Structure 1
Amino acid sequence: MAGKLPRSSESRKTDGTLKENKRESKNVIGVFGEMQPSDIHPVDIYGYLSERELAGAPIKANKEVALLSAVLEYGRRLGWLETNPCGGIKYNKSKPNQKYVEEAELNLIMKTARERGDSYLVVALCLRAAYLTVSRPDEMRAVARQNISASGVQMPIGKRRAGQMQRMKLIEWSPALKSVMDEALALQRTPSMYVFGNTTGQVYTTSGFNTILRRLMKYSATKAAESGATFNRFTLKDMRPSAVMDRLEDGDQRVTDATGHADDRMVKKVYDRRKTKVAKATK
């Protein structure tokens, strides 16, 4: 459906979202693909949510039903059905991700990666760079040499629809950021346009990156257990909210310049995971 919209359409989703929707659609099509839109009822939606929850995928089920709802709403617009059966549906309950990456945890990852070298170190440096630049996983994996300038690292901001102007953010150099980027580039056996490219010089796929990261987390957890240290596994996407929290704790008044958000609404809702917020007395 969305694929039929012209790339300039404001209603068309971003390419990244479309790819994600394509993956989500497989389960939806498997259950509802042969049904007429008008034959789908709320009880069917609740049954789907329950079955997927029992299968261990309650959150994925929510996203899949959200996709189904968008498709059915489009069908309602075309006159295929009178009401959207997904309207008013209560989704599976989910716990918000509250992971905060401790400095000691990231340091242990870096130490383990240096011992193992190669792809492990590239992945670890990418984690560190994501923290320093407050960047999303897709933005960080795809950062290129051309993004590096004398002033710092210039990076595209978030998702955009086709036809929309790409917004950019400039993260100015700090000694730590300069060191990370220089080391990542020095690791490349074959020059690549991507700073954190894979062994063939291409952008890591999500699955490829996460496979190496899971191994690195396993090795680090073993090392932590041997020394009696506390270590909780984390992902590339945990680096951005962890960076936001640290910036807020340090009193950064321009954190949205680093995240790329137009205002702080999303920062407060999603990225601010501080358990304790500190404020001065009124007088």
Structure 2
Amino acid sequence: MGRKRDRASGFGLLPRMEARPWSDGKTVSYRYHPIAGKPVALGTDKRAAIQKVLDMNGSGQDTGTIDELWRAYQLMPQWIRLGDRTKNDYKVYSEKLLAVMGKVSARLIRPADIARYLRVERADAPVRANREIALLSNLMNVAVERGNIDVNPCKQVKRNLERPRTEAPEPEELAAFIHWLKRQGQQREVIALMAEFAAMAGSRRIEFLHLTLPQIDDGKSVIRLMRAKQHGGSKRTENVNITPAMEGLVARLKALPRPDGCLTVFVTRNGNPYTDSGFSSNWQKIMREAIEQNIVSRRFTFHDLRAYYTTQHKAQYGTLPELHADGSTTAKVYDRTRISVRKGLG
């Protein structure tokens, strides 16, 4: 009969470590499986077992510091499950966080230290500070699971106040911006069509950046996309109905020049799909030029086009689109209607 499995005793272990519950139901021993060689017994003390593995791999000198927790986090299943964009964002957030707290042991960080980081160390970037502390909270959870600390101090401190964006481009201004972009050459015409698609379909950029021709189903008049933010391990597709107003846009998307055999709709001048970072840099440059040339009166982000879609959808159909599982999130984040309309008494 095989050994009884006990998933709880394996939480927080380093890669290649194994928890082995004893038959008494109370004791758990640990061992390490090196890439080459026999398993190494580590005893029954979880903290000591983890320390032995770190020592064997030459990383025990900073055990429990934020630097070490960051390295360990990037080897864990919760990191692997993250999307590529989230991983890249976390790597950016880690730079300032590690510069300030990297050498500090998790055991020494108090809620007051978290508050100081948010309000003093990063007073010039309060929103970015929130994202950095969110990453720190993930690292502290690793420390809790490993037994380094008992409580995550990040959960005891309020984040900086974030004011949601309230602006979205007006239809006339967006139309002028797209028309201006289309007159500047083939590559900027591609970006103009991406902006037009975002404004008419309401999809996140990451959801259609690598859109392919087979995803455009003319027979059923839908564009099939995968929702970027999935929760609970579920996968959710989104079918965007091709309305009569979108038919011209779809025809122009299909007519875009692309290399023979390439099925990607939006490609660079080299015939490759856009990367998220490459597109972002391009968009920032375009927006600066549009403001300098008075094409738009104020800067708007590409993500604001999702808010534009939400606001126009409400004006046209009387309801908000289904962008989130919780409709209140759509209303709070993306509805930027400036005028509220209600009936008076009869």
Shorter-chain TM-score tier? 0.7 to 0.9
Structure 1's 207 and 15: CA in aligned 2 closer, same or farther, altered over 3 A?
Answer: closer
The one-letter amino acid paired with 1:239 is L
2:211 is the counterpart of 1:143: yes
Which one of 166, 175, 178 corresponds to residue 98 of structure 1? Answer: 166
The one-letter amino acid paired with 1:186 is A
Q: Secondary structure at the match of 1:236?
A: coil
1:91-240 maps to which residues of 2 (within 5 A)?
A: 91-150=159-218, 151-160=221-230, 164-191=233-260, 192-224=262-294, 231-240=297-306
2:147 is the counterpart of 1:84: no
Q: Secondary structure at the match of 1:53?
A: coil
State the shift of 1:64 in Å.
0.4
State the shift of 1:157 in Å.
1.4
The one-letter amino acid paired with 2:226 is P
CA contact (8 A) 1:59 1:94 kept: yes
Q: Secondary structure at the match of 1:69?
A: helix
The one-letter amino acid paired with 2:341 is V
Structure 1's 164 and 201: CA in aligned 2 closer, same or farther, altered over 3 A?
Answer: farther
2:313 is the counterpart of 1:250: no
RMSD of aligned Cα (Å): 2.6
Residue in 1 that maps onto 2:4: none
Aligned residues: 271
State the shift of 1:2 in Å.
4.7
Distance in 1, matches of 2:130 and 2:326, equals 27
Distance in 2, matches of 1:87 and 1:166, equals 29
2:90 is the counterpart of 1:27: no
Distance in 2, matches of 1:17 and 1:160, equals 13
Structure 1's 184 and 263: CA in aligned 2 closer, same or farther, altered over 3 A?
Answer: same
CA contact (8 A) 1:37 1:75 kept: yes
Distance in 1, matches of 2:235 and 2:283, equals 29
The one-letter amino acid paired with 2:338 is K
Q: Secondary structure at the match of 1:47?
A: helix
CA contact (8 A) 1:139 1:155 kept: yes
2:339 is the counterpart of 1:276: yes
CA contact (8 A) 2:111 2:153 kept: yes
2:125 is the counterpart of 1:43: no
User: Which is worse superposed, 125-134 or 109-118?
Assistant: 109-118
CA contact (8 A) 1:105 1:232 kept: no
Structure 1's 15 and 210: CA in aligned 2 closer, same or farther, altered over 3 A?
Answer: closer
The one-letter amino acid paired with 1:122 is V
User: Which is worse superposed, 100-109 or 23-32?
Assistant: 23-32
Distance in 2, matches of 1:133 and 1:69, equals 35
The one-letter amino acid paired with 2:116 is G
State the shift of 1:66 in Å.
1.2
CA contact (8 A) 2:320 2:331 kept: no
Larger Rg: 2
The one-letter amino acid paired with 2:216 is I
Distance in 1, matches of 2:314 and 2:320, equals 9
Task: Tell me the TM-score normalised to structure 1 length.
Answer: 0.84
State the shift of 1:92 in Å.
2.5
Distance in 2, matches of 1:118 and 1:245, equals 30
Structure with the larger RCO, 1 or 2 (CA within 8 Å, 6+ apart): 1
Q: Secondary structure at the match of 1:224?
A: coil
CA contact (8 A) 1:21 1:67 kept: yes
Same amino acid, percent of matched pairs: 28
Please list the CA deviations of residues 184-229 of structure 1 after superposition, one character each: whole Å capped at 9, or x if unmatched: 332324243221222233332233212222332233334437xxxx
Please list the CA deviations of residues 103-154 of structure 1 after superposition, one character each: whole Å capped at 9, or x if unmatched: 1221121221122122211111101101111101211322221211111211
Task: Tell me the TM-score normalised to structure 2 length.
Answer: 0.70
Residue in 1 that maps onto 2:59: none
Distance in 1, matches of 2:103 and 2:200, equals 48
Structure 1's 36 and 174: CA in aligned 2 closer, same or farther, altered over 3 A?
Answer: same
CA contact (8 A) 1:108 1:220 kept: no
Q: Secondary structure at the match of 2:123?
A: helix
Distance in 1, matches of 2:161 and 2:325, equals 29
Please list the CA deviations of residues 6-33 of structure 1 after superposition, one character each: whole Å capped at 9, or x if unmatched: 48x9x94444423322222222222222
